[in-house]
Amino acid sequence: MRFAKGRAGDADYESIGAGYTRYRQAEPLIFDRIEKALGPARIVLNVGAGAGSYEPLDREVVAVEPSAAMRSQRPAHLVRAVEGAAEKLPYPDGHFDASMATFTVHQWQNLQAGLTEMRRVTSGPLVILTCNPDEVERFWLSEYAPEVLATEARRYPPIFHIKRILAGTVTISAVPIPFNCKDGFNEAYYGRPEKFLEAGARLACSGWSMVDKSTTDSYVQHLSRELQDRSWDAKYRHLRSQPEFEGSLRLIVSQR
């Protein structure tokens, strides 16, 4: 698959990424899981690093990110990201103790090439945070924005496909999402539906950018009406007090 110049995959982050860090920040509970999966690694590669939400702060990190818009939003306390892509990593074999990739594998032009490259340059675990496409459309948002979630489901690679490519022992675990999740992917708002009325929150989830404006407007109007007349609450009120939600989010760890 080939993408247009300036794109970090199939989403145009040069256009939609400007306010990304306002809505997409590291969720501590997810961060802790990633930290544990990295084990004792001292030197960590972050592939498709974006704004660096889940990069460890107590280890040496090398960040690789193709989008200039995303690289520019990295906070000052993080290392500067190197321009590059997963499919062609400019590092020698076994150079890193561990590698990580969060919310990025669905953006890669060639999944097999990217994962193979990660394994080549890594002596220890590969840690991948992604979504299970088989679960994406089960989220209630599919009732209001079906094309958005159908698009997301098509983009995420099947979990079994990732597992087949990875070498060594592979473990796959569901990642519960806390109610006040700081990382604003779609399911993070499972009990806060009003967030989907904010354009910035929607654009921070790249699937929304792949639906035309008139369709998006109709989706937002539908949700807005049902929030106003409490139809949404009649169906999903229990989610407003549910402390966590288990949806499509998965953590994949490959050990040699």
Q: What is the pLDDT of residues 41-71, one digit of tens each?
A: 999 999 999 989 999 999 999 999 999 988 9
Q: What is the mean pLDDT of residues 128-139?
A: 98
- Looking at residue 7, what is its pLDDT? 37
Burial of residue 80 (CB within 10 Å: 0-12, 13-18, 19+) is exposed
Q: Give, in order, the Cα–Cα distances in Å from 37 to each of 15, 56, 64, 207, 256.
A: 33, 11, 20, 28, 13
Residue 8 resides in a domain? no
pLDDT at 211 over 70: yes
Q: What is the mean pLDDT of residues 123-135?
A: 98
Q: What is the mean pLDDT of residues 126-155?
A: 98
For residue 255, the tally of other CB atoms under 10 A from its CB is 15
CA angle 149/197/145 to nearest 5° reads 20
Range of the domain at 39: 13-255
Q: Give, in order, the Cα–Cα distances in Å from 58 to each of 38, 43, 78, 186, 203.
A: 12, 10, 11, 29, 31
Residue 7 resides in a domain? no
Q: What is the pLDDT of residues 4-27, one digit of tens each?
A: 333 345 555 545 445 678 899 999
Q: What is the mean pLDDT of residues 159-177?
A: 95
Q: What is the pLDDT of residues 172-206, one digit of tens each?
A: 999 999 999 999 999 999 999 999 999 999 999 98
Residue 52 resides in a domain? yes
Indicate which CATH number applies to the domain containing 36.
3.40.50.150
Domain count, the chain: 1
